[in-house]
Amino acid sequence: MTGIGTRTAATLLELRAWLGEHVSIRGEGNWDQVRLAWNRVSDQRPAVVVQPSSAEEVVAALSFARGAGMQVAVQATGHGAGAALGNLDGQVLLQMSRMRQVVVDPGRRRAQVEAGATWEEVAAAAAPHGLAGLGGSSPNVGVAGFVLGGGVGWLSRRYGLSANAVAGFEAVLPDGRVVRADRDTEPDLYWAVRGGGGAFAVITRLDIDLVPLESAYGGFMMWPVERAADVLHAWLEWTRGASEDATTSARIMQFPPIPHVPEPLRGRSFAVIDGAILGPEVDARRAIEPIRALGPVTDTFTTIPAPALNGIHLDPEDPVPAIHDGFVLSRFNHDALDSLLSVAPPIARSALLATEVRHCGGALSRPTFGQGAVGTIAGDYTVMGVGMARSPEMAQAVEASLDALSQATLPWRAERQFPNFAGRPRPAEQFFTAADLARLRRVRATYDPDQVLHSNRPLGSRGDEADYPPS
Ligand SMILES: Cc1cc2nc3c(=O)[nH]c(=O)nc-3n(C[C@H](O)[C@H](O)[C@H](O)COP(=O)(O)OP(=O)(O)OC[C@H]3O[C@@H](n4cnc5c(N)ncnc54)[C@H](O)[C@@H]3O)c2cc1C
């Protein structure tokens, strides 16, 4: 048993007496299943996995960890696992997936969401009331980790970052106190968590604002990859005049030659444009017409119910070993796009399954009163690459392709990067202004002075090198 000495065994016994099978010790029982993150690139091997069902059980788990001198990593789904999180050896993993209740208050257009819930669960609870949450491109990403890193999705150019829609939350502090944080109560904690990550407290419940939305005009269009340059340049031009009701992305996708990819796509590559347009269908159709006029071989754009929005991007739902990285760009123009295209098919070989540009701007670039540590995206476009690492050789090839993408877009890199899209370790200075980073470190020193919590967004600091880069 790594990290658990006899000094703490009694406390562990108490924890087990209370939570039973929901406390899993390394190498025993169901530990080998519950330790796994959605992102299988991490072979995370915590000393103990605790799956709490209430804030009280989180308090107990933190009390055990403090007594044992162990760090605590919190996960809803493990979509944020990977190199940025680092390894969990000797730590307690608080796995929140038993806490996933979602209660919608239609009058206030607000949902109370437990910290293990996913965006598809929020969508399912909100839809009967004609409401929707500001989720992202994947149905089963967790609400908690998503908003802690900012949160961008298909409604973002109209409504802004999801972190701005967090009205308040309940959390357990590393010292075991249960607190409520919002604009008036624990305002520094409220500010820090909305973009600053999981380095301050264990969130147990979030209050998130919903927006009125029953349906949107959304889907994807595909062209043979040989058309990538003309389609993506046309899309870039189109985005310049697109209204804030339209949030879209353009990608080069290489579908792997594996059985569960549908036959027409298997082993083939495409240029893809996808996204959603809000408002009356007739206007949305008119808006997307210039893209449709490029003659896609597949076109699924149609009016879809709001919960279907998170299926548009074809993100994998089953666990996969993924390595990704993404960058915020300022002044993204046709030269920048040519540079990006020069490291992707059909021009270059790439180990990335997707090389993507997302159109941001609109409400994503407007600061809002009372916003958190990340309230905007500091450029009108982001680029991202993702590949699968099923072997060390594949991992090496994906890393090399991500390096190439990073280099190709470096001249257009924005000053501040976006936490949720950064899949590989980066200094905290890249995400926050100097003043905000200093404030985040002060907030951490107040709420987690012993650095009990192990976040996938290390804040680093002088004299705190152990925190960055993650081991
Ligand atoms: C397939 C895929 C699609 C994605 N699409 C988008 C997208 O469209 N838009 C976007 O903005 N991002 C997107 N992301 C990035 C995603 O938002 C981040 O990886 C996010 O951290 C995942 O949150 P999670 O809760 O599911 O993951 P987890 O790995 O469970 O959590 C991530 C981190 O959040 C913190 N955390 C989680 N729960 C708690 C808690 N209860 N208390 C304290 N800290 C906590 C921890 O530090 C943890 O390491 C995507 C990622 C993937 C893999």
pLDDT digit string, tens, across residues 13-68: 899 999 999 999 999 989 999 999 999 998 999 999 999 999 999 999 999 999 99
What DSSP state is assigned to residue 140? T
Report the 10 Å Cβ neighbour count for 392. Answer: 8
Please give the Cα distance from 307 to 370 (Å, whole number). Answer: 29
Task: Judge if the beta carbon of residue 358 lies within 6 A of ligand 1.
Answer: no
Residue with the nearest Cα to atom 52 of ligand 1? 79
User: Are the CB atoms for 60 and 18 separated by under 8 Å?
Assistant: yes
Phi and psi at residue 137, to the nearest 5°? -90, -10
pLDDT score at 109: 98
Give me ligand 1 centre to Cα 173, in Å. Answer: 20
> What is the rounded distance in angstroms from the CA atom of residue 247 to the CA atom of residue 353?
22
Distance 146 CA to ligand 1 centre (A): 4
pLDDT score of 6 more than 50:
no
320 close to 39: Cβ distance less than 8 angstroms? yes
pLDDT digits (tens, 9 = 90+) for 299-353: 999 999 999 999 999 998 999 999 999 999 998 999 999 999 999 999 999 999 9
Asked if 247 contacts 165 with a C-beta cutoff of 8 angstroms, the reply is no
Phi, psi of 115 (to 5 degrees): -70, -10
Distance 147 CA to ligand 1 centre (A): 8
Cβ–ligand 1 distance for 198 under 6 Å, the answer: yes
Residue in this structure with the two tokens 């915590």, named with its chain if needed: 46
**Mean pLDDT of all residues belonging to the chain:** 94
Tokens of 26: 């390394």
pLDDT digits (tens, 9 = 90+) for 392-416: 999 999 999 999 999 999 999 999 9
Is 70 exceeded by the pLDDT of residue 467?
Answer: no
- Ligand 1, atom 36, lies closest to the CA of 145
pLDDT confidence tier of residue 1, bands split at 50, 70 and 90: very low
CB of 85 closer than 8 Å to CB of 74: no
Dihedrals phi, psi of 462, to nearest 5 degrees: -65, 140
CA angle at 160 for the pair 375 and 204, rounded to the nearest 5°: 65
Q: Which helix (H) or strand (E) holds 39?
A: none
State how far the Cα of 166 lies from the Cα of 393, in Å rounded to an integer.
41
User: Cα–Cα distance between 26 and 88 in angstroms, integer?
Assistant: 11
Q: Tell me: pLDDT of 10 over 60.
A: no
Residues 284, 193: Cα–Cα separation, whole Å: 35
Phi and psi of 142, rounded to 5°? -75, 145
Cα of 201 vs centre of ligand 1, distance in Å, is 15
Of 243, 245, 264, nearest to 255 by C-alpha is 264
Give dist(CA 320, CA 332) in Å, integer: 31
Of 86, 143, 208, nearest to 420 by C-alpha is 143
DSSP annotation of 453 reads B
- Nearest atom in ligand 1 to the alpha carbon of residue 149 is 21
pLDDT value, residue 331: 85
